[in-house]
Structure 1
């Protein structure tokens, strides 16, 4: 069986480390050779041989120039095309890699012609492939390594891992040759002149043993995630430098105040590991100090640890360590991206040679971390794009608002990796307001941001703004969000980046989609374009769903026509009601309500539910409501339900009918009620929590000879809530749990009008919940004596 693919790279499938053989050959060659003028030629010859390539070049970066040092297998024309070249020129592979610090992979002549047409003007047009990778060491870009093949070459993951590992090893030895041996590269003082050697470097010391570093380089090169990288460091990092322990801290992007996540060796004492899952980027820990400006923290024994970090002395001893070293990990542009921690079981003197060795290992780890982070970013972007594509596909197939909601908030998660989302539609009764029909991760207090109080400063995320144009808040500065109250509410939510997308169909406003992210500046230009596409697709799906729901809407109109006409003005009471139909796929229902003024300032409130989701349920509901209105003037709550019991038994085929009848007498300060199988109303007296009126008799149709009624005191300022089970029932949850949730919402709602309370109950109890049943609710607020009576209203949200 051949050990190589078309390029000669790769290994037999049984080889657990595909590139270990070629890598070890190169490492041994470097370990055996002196660091002299032949080092560049050795680097390129070993790379070409290990990769079974046709030729290659190693070039160093001198200021703004890229100059070739050594080449192999190149014609004079190819050598001439390698330089000198200028940094900043993106038209050639060598200078692009030197300028961007990123690898260039060209699998064929056609790909080279597409990306670098100038290259084919300088060299042969023979079919070939090439790769150029940056050479980094000690936080600096030294140069680039270019490799070419005579045949097309598809770069597999193992090919790229091998080439990147070779580049890391070549860079270490080129740095030693360039800085420590005394090579004059034309950058001012010759290497070897006083002051030219980097601080702490020793001209007599070689870089870390190449063979000793081989397992670590192999492990780092094969790590494509932060977790894999941390595991590789924990398993191989300590062994490579003769330490007993190693770990890594990785900065968390966007974290407030600067924090880093720690990845430990699995053998670390669990109690210690649990206390250090994250650390602050400050001087409180050695790793934090290394990241916050010190760069390196050398603690040779427990005495030094106790003097500089007394809080860590006990934990260090518990881990069995006597000395530690912490080195910052530097990525692109000299920015710190994390820190490497190492520990020894015996005290350490940390001579210059040992420090150089640890710095070399830290640079290997930093380069690998940069690659892992780039790969993670690319993978996350790809996954996000795939999920967005699935959402757009699902929106095309959506036939109802419920299906649209399910398509956008898949399994109750926000789209596009957002931490929170809100989908709101225009209230048909109040076109200037939006009603939240589904939300994920949005705190209730943000209602004041969507709808500021009259006279308050408008928020950038107010409904009035969201329905007009796209709003993007990359951060929550006072310039972006001028209103301090809105800014504080958004900040308390822990969400630092916001975007609001208007949903429109032609000139018609449909609503808005709001997404929030945990990190500042979470969205780039490409993201904004993708989300604009999402907003357009969502608008089209909502518009189409409304049209397709026309039959359902007609049935809802019939059902609403059977409900009470606009509620009357009532003595001493504010009363408001809402009716919300079930989603189209669940049919229409038989929920109803009524408010009937009686003599002596009394008011009878009724609410009921006729079982079923078809036209017969709606018709039966209308008949029962008409019978109740006929009985109300002469029957108390219990006698009224007894009369309805006989009526249902004689005239209706419905198997289940529940009703709540509540007689309010504000002048007498009393409330009398009777329940026929209906969920208990909630009564909240001033200064007390909401309590259920829960003495329930069987539903109508059971022919109960005598039904009970109960009287309780009713104080001014009391609030009464009557509702149907659609408000509290959820699949897989007990009725008691739903009732407790409703009571909590009533208690949490600020003192407000009955109309505001109705809207709040529907919004908070039915948010992001499929509406499998229709829902009716009546809220009544007892007004103090002499207070002006406000007109009650019935205003259903969009159905």
Structure 2
């Protein structure tokens, strides 16, 4: 690398070149393998060598068992730990990948111990890193390939691309080997009992597919390189896109295609009018051996097929998750083809490779979009906290004149004080002119987000165009022209008072999932409080309390395995207000993240900073363990908050697995009461947020059914008349004496015992959790 070359660019380029070189060596080994080669051992030996790993194993799924076929670099005891194993067991990396069909990345022994403690018991090495890759071929999961390193191994983007590419290639060869080994190989005169002759030619395509992180990059990669990989003359790909008039697919052509022909086929309907459309609509393959077949089945395409210099074509559907058609690939040859079974099988395997890569690209696109929405929502919530006028509220919601949360259209409307039965539009974007005038359902008609009288009373979510039931043909035509296929109406309320509504419309059906609806419910609550402040113009103290209450998680979510209740009490007016906050965030697998924190200070600035930190924590919670979450908040506080002191506690409840995991940043210790035992403190506290600490401590303890957990801020325990240890003992005694079956009554009891007749110099937050006595295990 030259001295002037940027380090990141040079490293990325060299890593990519090394990955492609390793792939080529592996594929050359496969292509040169004799017919009687032991393919499982060849697969794992080539993979271990290419990845410079310590060992590896290939295991195939056989019914509900995962059986090892070959291993490299393992002792006998380690080989026994590889199986046979039971599919469905999520406690080991191999069976987890075989059960979920998802890769497992474990970069260090600590990560292995956290996620799969059983493997530490089964295999004794000081340091270990793992990657387990599902092996898929012909639309089915064959098994898994596990690779291990003695030392920690950080999986860079190039590492993951190489591993995924190797898994795809190995799956193809294992599938061919298994068919030959079972006597199921082809018997026509074109078949051979060895690996596909185009194995080496697959390398550039596989590398390009695994290196493409956007849908467009992937589609263009196949359009340009797909033909060479399978010995064809031409290749293109169609990717399904939802549309208001029915599903269509965007086409990506090879650059050498006749421009006039390419221009006519930029998008096609998913129907039987074209070979690609027929493959997608029928979830099948369309084989056209010569121009005579093209003319017989698709006469309108005969001239264009001939103009492109093609004499035979093949179109294969791309199947994604849950059996959903996500596109189709097309291939063409300049000479007629007989399409023997061996050639068809090879093309089907390539289609599976492309489908898997397209699924990954679509998932990445979804993740990027969700991250962008989350970041924008965070900015909106932060701006709403600081807004003091309707114009500032509008500017916060409609950032740069766009609809929030990726919506195609939005309207913010408030109740007209002079005419309480009518709404006045304060701001709107993307709504077609005249839509509101034609879409006013009459008495008895189903709810709609634009129904002024009713959408302001309750949230209305209409996921598809069919759910929008207009009362006139004019309204139906207006909706169809608008291309807005999914609607959400959020009520804006302050207590029992109706303020107005926020309406969002999306161009894609079923645009919002449960997580989106929860996030937008938070947005509706924040807009309600901001509008209420702007309209009423309360005193500074009341305004700050409203800001604070609007950012606390009330009402808390209803959870299946745990009761959660909370209270917030502002400081007495003469002491000002503070920055206490709490939250309860439901996560997958019956888990719940409880958070509580305190921003130092007693002014509106503390409340604003608190709101920013809570919003950041909620956005980070679904993808971070407690310690990692606090580390991310460290960076947020350092870069975004002017406060010098922020404490927080993050506690992850996992009742179904009987675990409680926590991390503390300068915060008073949570108190845990197990059934039949006295309260004990969860101590071991790291410095407050924003302190220069690289790795925060995280601890896991047993969580028995019927346990009680209490998180609180120092306003609950600190009194000038007694030392802090005495205050903690007083709180512990109150928990021991408190109710064991109701989180709500426990909150009330603790506030009464600890704050009765005492002046509140600091605001106070408390959150109590009671684990159900009977919790279903995983």
Q: Could you tell me the TM-score, scaled by structure 2's length?
A: 0.64
Partner of 2:30: 30
Matched, 1:532 2:500: no
SS of residue paired to 2:251: strand
1:59 — aligned with what? 59
**1:337 aligns to what SS in structure 2?**
strand
* Alignment correspondent of 2:715: none
Q: Does 1:371 align with 2:348?
A: no
Cα-to-partner distance string for 1:492-533 (whole Å, 9 max, x where unaligned): 532222111111222322211111112222111111111111
Partners of 1:205 and 1:353 within 8 A in 2: no
| CA distance 1:14–1:204, shift in 2 (3 Å) | closer
Could you tell me how far apart the structure 2 residues matched to 1:472 and 1:35 are?
A: 60
| C-alpha contact 1:329 1:340 (8 A) present in aligned 2 | yes
2:89 aligns to what? 89
Of 444, 457, 469 in structure 1, the residue corresponding to residue 445 of structure 2 is 457
- The question of 1:276 aligning with 2:265 is answered yes
- Cross-structure match for 1:331: 320
Contact 1:94 1:146 in 2 (8 A): yes
Contact 1:251 1:337 in 2 (8 A): yes
* 1:317 match: 306
SS at match of 1:18: helix
What is the alpha-carbon distance in structure 2 between the residues aligned to residue 18 and residue 539 of structure 1?
A: 55
Distance in 2 between residues matched to 1:416 and 1:541, nearest whole Å: 18
Partner of 2:256: 267
Give the 3 Å change call, closer, same or farther, for CA 205–113 of structure 1 in structure 2. Answer: closer
> Which residue pairs with 2:117 in the alignment?
117
Write the distance in 2 (CA, Å) between the matches of 1:11 and 1:169.
25
1:446 positional shift: 3.2
- The equivalences for 1:489-638 within 5 A come to 490-548=479-537
Q: Deviations over 1:624-666 (max 9, x none)?
A: xxxxxxxxxxxxxxxxxxxxxxxxxxxxxxxxxxxxxxxxxxx
Q: Map residues 730-749 of structure 1 onto 2, 5 A cutoff.
A: none
Shift, 1:431, TM fit: 1.9
- 1:753 matched to which residue of 2? none
Partner of residue 788, structure 1 = none
1:490 offset after TM fit, Å? 4.0
Preserved CA contact (<8 Å) 1:87 1:95: yes
Deviations 1:23-60, CA, capped at 9 Å, x for gaps: 11211111122354621111111111111111111111
Aligned to 1:703: none
Give the one of 467, 485, 490 matched to 2:456.
467
Higher alpha-carbon deviation: 88-97 or 141-150: 88-97
Distance in 1, matches of 2:418 and 2:35, equals: 82
Aligned partner of 1:223 among 207, 212, 221:
212
Contact 2:439 2:471 in 1 (8 A): no
- Alpha-carbon distance between aligned partners in 1 of 2:204 and 2:231, rounded to the nearest angstrom: 13
1:155 corresponds in structure 2 to 155
**In 2: Cα distance, 1:118 partner to 1:518 partner:** 47
Distance, in Å, in 1 between the alignment partners of 2:137 and 2:242 is: 24
Deviation at 1:121, TM superposition (A): 3.5
Please say if residues 198 and 230 of structure 2, whose CA atoms lie closer than 8 Å, have aligned partners that are also in contact.
no
The separation in 2 between residues aligned to 1:35 and 1:463, in whole angstroms, is 74
How far does residue 202 in structure 1 lie from its aligned partner after superposition? 4.3
Instruction: Answer whether contact 1:500 1:514 (CA < 8 A) is retained.
Output: yes
Cα 1:358–1:491 change in 2 (3 A) is: same
- For the residues of structure 2 that align with 1:19 and 1:29, how far apart are their CA atoms? 16
* Partner in structure 2 of residue 70 of structure 1: 70
More displaced 10-residue stretch of structure 1: 13-22 or 246-255: 13-22
The answer as to 2:261 corresponding to 1:250 is no
SS in 2 for 1:44: helix
Secondary structure at the counterpart of residue 405 of structure 2: coil
CA distance in 2, matches of 1:122, 1:215: 39
Does structure 1 conserve the Cα–Cα contact (< 8 Å) formed by 2:487 and 2:506? yes
1:204–1:68 distance in 2 versus 1, CA, 3 Å: closer
- Please list the CA deviations of residues 46-75 of structure 1 after superposition, one character each: whole Å capped at 9, or x if unmatched: 111111111111111112221111112223
Counterpart among 331, 341, 345 of residue 334 in structure 2: 345
Residue 217 of structure 1: how far off its partner (Å) = 1.1
SS in structure 2 opposite 1:460?
coil
Number of the residue aligned with 1:192: 183
Q: Judging changes above 3 Å, is the alpha-carbon distance between structure 1 residues 123 and 199 closer, same or farther for their aligned structure 2 residues?
A: farther
Quickly say closer, same or farther: Cα 1:161–1:294, change in 2 above 3 A. closer
Following TM superposition, by how much is the alpha carbon of 1:285 offset from its aligned partner in structure 2, in angstroms? 0.3
Which stretch of the first structure deviates more once superposed, 10-19 or 493-502?
Answer: 10-19
Superposed, 1:198-213 pairs within 5 Å as 202=191, 204=193, 206-213=195-202
- SS of aligned partner of 1:298: strand
Distance 1:199 1:497, change over 3 A: farther
Alpha-carbon distance in structure 2 between the residues aligned to 1:251 and 1:237: 19
Equivalent position of 2:174 in the other structure: 174
**Per-residue deviation at 1:428?**
1.0
After TM superposition, give the deviation of residue 205 of structure 1 in Å. Answer: 5.5
- For 2:42 and 2:226, the matched residues in 1 are separated by 27
The Cα of 1:20 is off from its aligned counterpart by 1.4
- The answer on whether the counterparts of 2:320 and 2:356 sit within 8 Å (CA) in structure 1 is yes
User: Structure 1 CA distance, aligned partners of 2:190 and 2:272?
Assistant: 26
> 2:415 — aligned with what?
426
Match in the other structure for 2:739: none
Alignment pair present for 1:402 and 2:360:
no
Distance 1:56 1:283, change over 3 A: same
**Matched residues in 2 for 1:43 and 1:320: separation?**
39
Distance apart, 1:273 and its partner CA: 1.7
Aligned length: 531
Cα displacement (A) at 1:283: 1.1
Distance 1:507 1:294, change over 3 A: closer
CA distance in 2, matches of 1:237, 1:163: 20
SS in 2 for 1:504: strand
Q: 2:620 corresponds to which residue?
A: none
Whether the 8 Å CA contact 1:27–1:214 is kept in 2: the answer is yes
- Give the distance between the partners of 1:139 and 1:371, measured in 2 at CA: 15
Q: Is the 8 A contact 2:390 2:531 kept in 1?
A: yes
1:146 shift after superposition:
0.9
Answering whether residue 285 of structure 2 is matched by residue 296 of structure 1, we say: yes
SS across alignment from 1:431: coil
Equivalent residue runs for 1:615-764 within 5 Å: none
Q: CA deviation at 1:320?
A: 2.3
Contact 1:459–1:483, Cα closer than 8 Å, also in 2: no
Report how far residue 456 of structure 1 moved: 6.4
The answer to whether the 8 A contact 1:139-1:334 is kept is: no
Provide Cα deviations, 1:145-182, integer angstroms capped at 9, x if missing partner. 11111222221100000000110111011001111x12
State whether residues 450 and 459 of structure 1, in contact with CA within 8 Å, keep that contact through their aligned partners in structure 2: no
Structure 1 residue 476 displacement after superposition: 3.7
Instruction: Indicate the RMSD between aligned Cα atoms, in angstroms.
Output: 2.8
Contact 2:30 2:195 in 1 (8 A): no
Q: 1:408/1:12 Cα in 2 relative to 1: closer, same or farther (>3 Å)?
A: closer
Q: Which moved more, 1:143-152 or 1:160-169?
A: 143-152
* Aligned-residue offset at 1:231: 1.4
Q: Structure 1 regions of 5+ residues with no counterpart? A: 2-9, 183-190, 552-799
Distance 1:439 1:39, change over 3 A: same
Which has the bigger relative contact order, CA under 8 A and spacing at least 6?
1
| Local SS of the residue matching 1:19 | helix
CA distance in 1, matches of 2:143, 2:471: 51
1:153 is paired with a residue of what secondary structure? coil
